[in-house]
């Protein structure tokens, strides 16, 4: 399983959208890394996350690859993963932090 951590602001993503995101992220991991994603979803309580002194609308999606990913491929995978998120949440790309990390050695 590919570890995937999603950190979102509480109340900003409906349970229905969360279910779609989980399925889409797992399918993405299967395509990219040959294994489905194990998703850890964490909702930050309201008034606990801020950007530029305003309540944050940002989300963080961090996926741990099971292999070293060359930079050109990483850029394409990050683009796809972030677009997947934007398409489902209708947030701007500026509100998404995407991470695909190599395995820890």
Q: Percent of the chain scored above 70 by pLDDT? A: 99
Q: What is the pLDDT of residue 55?
A: 79
48-to-8, 51, 84 alpha-carbon distances in Å: 11, 10, 26
Question: Domains in the chain, start-ordered, CATH in brackets?
Answer: 2-101 (3.30.429.10)
* 16-60 residue pLDDT tens: 999 999 999 999 999 999 999 999 999 999 877 777 778 788 999
- Residue 62 CB-half CA count within 13 A: 10
Q: In this predicted structure, what is the pLDDT of residue 90? A: 95
Average pLDDT value for the chain: 94
């Amino acid at each position: 399983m590919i570890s995937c951590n999603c950190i979102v602001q509480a109340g900003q993503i409906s349970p229905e959208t969360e279910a779609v995101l989980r399925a889409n992220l797992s399918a993405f991991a299967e395509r990219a890394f040959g294994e489905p994603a194990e998703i850890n979803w964490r909702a930050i309580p309201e008034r606990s996350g801020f950007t530029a002194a305003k309540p944050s609308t940002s989300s963080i999606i961090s996926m741990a690859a099971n292999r070293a990913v060359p930079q050109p491929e990483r850029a394409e995978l990050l683009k796809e993963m972030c677009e997947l998120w934007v398409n489902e949440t209708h947030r701007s790309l500026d509100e998404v932090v995407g991470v695909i990390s190599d395995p820890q050695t």
